[in-house]
Homo-oligomer: A and B are copies of this chain.
Amino acid sequence: MRILLADDHGLVRDTIAMFLESAGMTEVVTVDNVDEAIAATDRSGSFDLVLLDYNMPGMDGLSGLARLREANDGRPVAILSGTASPAIATEAIAAGAAGFVPKTLGAKSMVSAIRFMAAGEVFVPFEFMQQSEARTVANLTERETEVLRGLCEGKSNKEIARDLDLQEVTIKLHVKTLCRKLDARNRTQAAMIARDRKLI
């Protein structure tokens, strides 16, 4: 199996390459930027799999991915990254990546993943995607989060007041401060924002 590995961190690149060769990959070509990667495909034909570091000279977000996909004649191109988020992984897949390999993956697992992607399947580690995406907590007090929970359940101020054993006016107050903190214009938008940012 012929692999092209593009990563600008020399140490990472070389150790991965050595491991892949010892795992039985017939040829592992390494480069340290996108342009060289394209040159490599021109020189020696398309690879069974191309691994691209997400943070690398010339990548420019996902446009480097598109260029390599074209250069590799539509055969699988995957993204490799130590830092990227699940959202970026999803974008990459949507943009046609064959998979997403976080550098936290174990070496043996990486080999299996590479075989998997070379077979034409899409690979993304499950536990990586389950990461709950930063959860940008907006400095809410305990009361406010309780009220926000009620909002997200579509309750009225009166109901929330009853549930928390408070007065309705108090809930109104909290809702107002919640709207200010979350930059929402009303309770509905506050609830939607809360769900988006997963701070329920």
Q: Which residues of A contact B (CB under 8 A)?
A: 93, 99, 105-106, 108-109, 111-113, 115-116, 119-127, 129, 151-154, 156, 184-193, 195
Contact = CB atoms under 8 A, between A and B. Distances in A.
Contacts of A193: 154
B189 A126 contact: no
Nearest to A179: B154
A106 B121 contact: yes
A179 to B, nearest CB: 10
A111 B122 CA distance: 14
Contacts of A153: 189, 192
A154 B115 contact: no
A129 B115 CA distance: 20
Contact of A186 (B113, B123, B156, B192): B156
Contacts of A126: 93, 99, 122-124, 129
A154 B120 CA distance: 42
B184 A154 contact: yes
- Most B Cβ at <10 Å: residue of A106, A120, A154, A195: A154
Contacts of A121: 105-106, 109, 112, 125
A171 to B, nearest CB: 13
B116 A112 contact: yes
A188 B159 CA distance: 14
Contacts of A190: 154
A156 B185 CA distance: 9
A119 B124 CA distance: 16
Contact of A151 (B93, B152, B188): B188
Contact of A109 (B109, B120, B156): B120
